[in-house]
């Protein structure tokens, strides 16, 4: 308890030097006021002192203690409680545009590209505490899975539901990007970001990727593009089995890196290539560092004054001294 006490006016402690001076003065005065007589013998005298006379110094002690309490009170003992509050000064709105075409089930990332992405993206969303996030999915078409929201539980739940088969197959990069831009165009955030991920080339949709990129530029939206897939051949769905499951075969990984690089450059973003699970995780970690949310911290210091009990104790001792001096010790003062 005492380790939390500090004093606002510690220089008042110098006044405590007056206490030993007062004690010396009292002893000197007491000796001076005490009468003495020299006799050759005490025979025939009955010498006794009353109990109250022995307690006479108590009055002085009470005054001394009261003075000490007042001096400590003047030094203003207090406790300090420091608390802080954070305020987001630069919010970021982020839309993640995810390719859900059949090729995203390729097994060059474990267990497949889409599952690996969902795991890494989930960690990314959890770390963006102060930002709003939305989800757009696309293949041959595109749609908004979740509009931008600050409720991370809604976004994470929607991400878990992202799977192949939601849309017609194909890779409509322009459609995915345009839908993401549409989600952000009315945003009032100081920073607007799209993370566009694909594992192929634009082969579907009625909006060209360059047109969608132009819209992103017009609305001040930065686009980070990610090409996902190993270099060379990957075990990819190539046909259906009789039971409706996919038949896998080796296919060359084709990603339009020039297009993705151009979109990123024109919008002020960056292009990344994820060839394995670790690289994909590193990419989202890098984007997380690049798009930092500015947070302002306010610190509050609350002081609680502790001098009042000392003043009350001092006053109580003065009152007690006054009562004793005018009652029990009246004849000795």
pLDDT tens digits for 131-142? Answer: 999 999 999 999
Range from 58-62, 240-244, 291-295 carrying the lowest mean pLDDT:
291-295
Distance CA 260, CA 272 (A): 9
Mean pLDDT of 24-37: 67
Q: What is the pLDDT, as a whole number, of residue 158? A: 96
Instruction: Decide if pLDDT at 147 tops 60.
Output: yes
H/E run at residue 88: strand 77-90
Mean pLDDT of 48-53: 56
Contacts of 69 (CB under 8 A, 6+ apart): 310, 311, 313, 314, 317
Domains defined for the chain, CATH in brackets? 5-28+52-83+300-328 (no CATH), 93-290 (3.40.50.410)
Q: What is the pLDDT, as a whole number, of residue 298? A: 62
Task: Convert the pLDDT of each residue in 261-301 to its tens digit.
Answer: 999 999 999 999 999 999 999 999 999 988 876 655 566 67
CA 163, 166, 171, 177 torsion-angle sign: negative
In total, the chain counts a number of residues equal to 333
Q: Is 170 helix (H, G, I), strand (E, B) or coil?
A: coil
Distance CA 72, CA 311 (A): 9
The whole-angstrom distance between residue 186's C-alpha and the CA centroid of its chain comes to 29
Q: Is 37 helix (H, G, I), strand (E, B) or coil?
A: coil
Contacts of 324 (CB under 8 A, 6+ apart): 58, 59, 62
Distance CA 98, CA 104 (A): 10
Residue carrying structure tokens 């947070």: 295
Mean pLDDT of 294-321: 79
**Token digits for 251?**
């296919």
Do 213 and 262 touch, CB atoms closer than 8 A?
Answer: yes
Range from 107-111, 122-126, 319-323 carrying the lowest mean pLDDT:
319-323
């Amino acid at each position: 308890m005492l380790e939390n006490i500090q004093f606002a006016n510690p220089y008042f402690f110098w006044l405590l030097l007056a206490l030993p001076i007062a004690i010396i003065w009292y002893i000197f005065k007491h000796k001076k006021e005490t009468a003495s007589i020299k006799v050759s013998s005490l025979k025939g005298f009955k010498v006794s002192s009353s109990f109250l006379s022995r307690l006479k110094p108590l009055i002085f002690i009470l005054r001394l203690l009261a003075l000490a309490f007042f001096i400590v009170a003047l030094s203003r003992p207090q406790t300090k409680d420091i608390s802080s509050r954070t305020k987001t000064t630069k919010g970021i709105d982020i839309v993640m545009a995810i390719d859900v075409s059949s090729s995203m089930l390729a097994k060059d990332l474990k267990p497949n590209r889409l599952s690996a992405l969902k795991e890494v993206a989930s960690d990314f969303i959890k770390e963006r505490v102060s930002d709003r996030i939305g989800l757009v999915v696309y293949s041959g078409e595109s749609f908004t899975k979740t509009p931008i929201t600050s409720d991370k539980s809604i976004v994470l739940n929607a991400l878990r539901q992202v799977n192949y088969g939601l849309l017609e197959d194909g890779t409509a990069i322009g459609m995915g990007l345009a839908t993401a831009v549409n989600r952000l165009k009315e945003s009032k955030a100081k920073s607007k970001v799209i993370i566009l991920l694909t594992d192929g080339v634009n082969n579907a949709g009625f909006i060209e990727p360059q047109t969608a990129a132009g819209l992103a530029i017009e609305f001040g939206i930065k686009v980070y593009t990610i090409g996902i897939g190993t270099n060379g051949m990957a075990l990819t769905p190539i046909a259906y089995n009789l039971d409706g499951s996919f038949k896998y075969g080796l296919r060359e990984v084709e990603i339009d890196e020039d297009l993705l690089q151009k979109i990123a450059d024109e919008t002020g973003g960056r292009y990344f290539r994820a060839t394995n699970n670790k690289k994909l995780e590193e990419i989202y970690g890098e984007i997380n560092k690049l798009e930092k949310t500015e947070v302002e911290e306010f610190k509050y210091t609350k002081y609680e004054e502790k001098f009042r009990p000392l003043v009350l104790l001092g006053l109580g001792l003065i009152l007690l001294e006054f009562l004793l001096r005018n009652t029990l010790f009246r004849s000795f003062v």
